[in-house]
Structure 1
């Protein structure tokens, strides 16, 4: 329903205190300002990045509406928005790219200074928010898709075709862009390459299927869960390993004549598995950290391997994504049945079940859980 001033009253899941359940409540959504659009969400994925903020491992401004992987419909456009129209179907990106900072001008919009600042501050581009509860200011996670509707920067919305199902489209906004981008953009994996993937949740499975699309010869996946190892094989893994029973580093070397793999991808965010990925690569290989570790945690490596073996340890922020370009390519792969998205969804929930979804995610039961609004 509407409220005085032209805004909306919508239901949203609000994080008010760390390590506490989200509170589903009515909040006020102010109208879009210059360069912004109002989105009615169709679906939102539930991601470990949301969990790290709920647990306080990556502190946020509170209170805040989380959720950053979503699809939806444009309901209202603010001043200056010319490339989107009411009724457009869109995928949302949680990293704003200003198009003018050092990183945007150098082809690295995933590292945009303005966008990263917004993630840290929980505000819009102008430093304010569009969420209120009476006089209380509520912060954003740029997209804030744990809500019926949100106001987002228009540059964070990418139009998709009518043929693209809205539920699976939501997953492109984070898990798919991040996982496939780590392979296609950060790694530039080529046919015949070899790799280790540690962690086969929503992001890890997209690393796996992107590696298969790229033509990797060895795709070894390490995961504690037997079900996730099974899914990894289904998504294109050539080998799987339970790290409790066999050392993934030793197996990676046994599959590559003792050298180590060309690439490793860490999709958990833990210092021990980051070190494991580094140890598994060959001289001149590249270990790519995709998982978001707890703020302040450190990983120690043997320093001499850097100059002597030329090993590379690097990160992949949002898969090096250029959302407006990469979303189009991923939609094309899906429509040609080369990219699997439907199979990623383990279970769907309603907004009122958000804490159940987060609990299932924490317990390792989900490849991807999806909040459906339609």
Structure 2
């Protein structure tokens, strides 16, 4: 029968979040109920609260999560009750034209649970990124559950469900960073610093971290940046060029999502270099770059969806790297908090005081 749990709701645009009773239905065909053990506070959740993503309020926030499968519906075979899983927001269909071409990370028909969670009063909730994990339990499509080694702490495992995967994937998958490459990362929040870690894993020889905040740059250095640039005091394009022999970086990853920082990334890359946009812009933003410059510089301008990851492939691999001591996921966790502290965590995130707050149930 349906269960009632506590969850964090964004009731309307710009309104403070609040804890309400959430009704979680029994899983139907192809669905699973997951008991959430930990969930990161991601900037995307703040975008939802502010109305920057959609207007389907009220939202059940939270998506960067790990937990235990509690129940599964008819036809589910890939996971079972008791499995420790990381939740993902791009459950691939296996049938669309991208999947049939062997590129499931581009799946054009990703899906979520068909049933809806509601408030105790029956109001339908929109789960953030189809997950809604700022709750003690949540209902998802079974394909959104990726089974991983249960020895990894939930507080770090869940980060792979969004921010850390987006950043590492932007470097390794989308940017195809190779051994000996030079890489610049503009914006060193959770996603940008994950891109720094990904560039290090890929064997980049020079990793240049750019940000306005020396605290974030210090974290970038700990995660593998060989050089840092504070763009309050230095022109980042000139600094990146100077650090790369006057040429620009082979790969520049823009992890802010603003037109001005994208232009910096565009002009800070080498000829035939690659720009990867992984920062999320807001709907009103516009970009203007001379088309001749786009033509004359060659190379590639890419957007990175979820780090172009395939959860079934990438999540277990990154968990293994963490357990081997080769990827310090714990470095991304600034603090652990309770479910009723999320509004304050948003404030600290906006102030740049934390890399990631993680709700531990």
TM-score tier by shorter-chain length is: over 0.9
Matched, 1:72 2:72: no
Contact between 1:203 and 1:267, CA under 8 Å: does it hold in 2? yes
Partner of residue 216, structure 2: 228
Alignment of 1:38-117 (within 5 A): 38-115=33-110
Q: Which runs of 5+ in 1 are unaligned?
A: 1-5, 119-123
1:154-193 aligned within 5 A: 154-193=142-181
Alpha-carbon deviation of 1:134?
2.4
Q: How far off is 1:125 after superposition?
A: 4.9
Q: Residue 242 of structure 2 aligns with which residue?
A: 254
Aligned residues: 360
Helix, strand or coil at the partner of 2:35:
strand
CA contact (8 A) 1:69 1:94 kept: no
Q: Which residue is equivalent to 2:299?
A: 311
Query: After the TM superposition, which residues 193-232 of structure 1 pair with which residues of structure 2 at under 5 Å, given as runs?
Result: 193-232=181-220
- Measure, in 2, the Cα distance between the counterparts of 1:251 and 1:279: 12
| Distance verdict in 2 for CA 1:107–1:47, change over 3 Å | farther
- Residues 162 and 96 (structure 1 numbering): CA distance in 2 closer, same or farther, change over 3 Å? closer
TM superposition shift of 1:54: 1.3
Say whether residues 1:130 and 2:117 are aligned partners. yes
Q: Gapped runs of 5+ residues in structure 2?
A: none
Could you state the TM-score of these two structures normalised by the residue count of structure 2?
0.97
Distance across 1 between alignment mates of 2:268 and 2:68: 44
TM-score (norm 1): 0.93
The answer on whether the counterparts of 1:108 and 1:322 sit within 8 Å (CA) in structure 2 is no
Whole-angstrom CA distance in 2 between matches of 1:283 and 1:53: 37
Match of 1:149 among 137, 152, 175: 137
Report matched runs for 1:229-308 at 5 Å.
229-308=217-296
Give me the whole-angstrom Cα distance separating, in 2, the residues matched to 1:69 and 1:354. 13
What CA RMSD, in Å, does the superposition of the two structures yield over aligned residues? 1.3
CA distance in 1, matches of 2:264, 2:353: 24
Is the 8 Å Cα contact of residues 93 and 99 (structure 2) preserved in structure 1?
yes
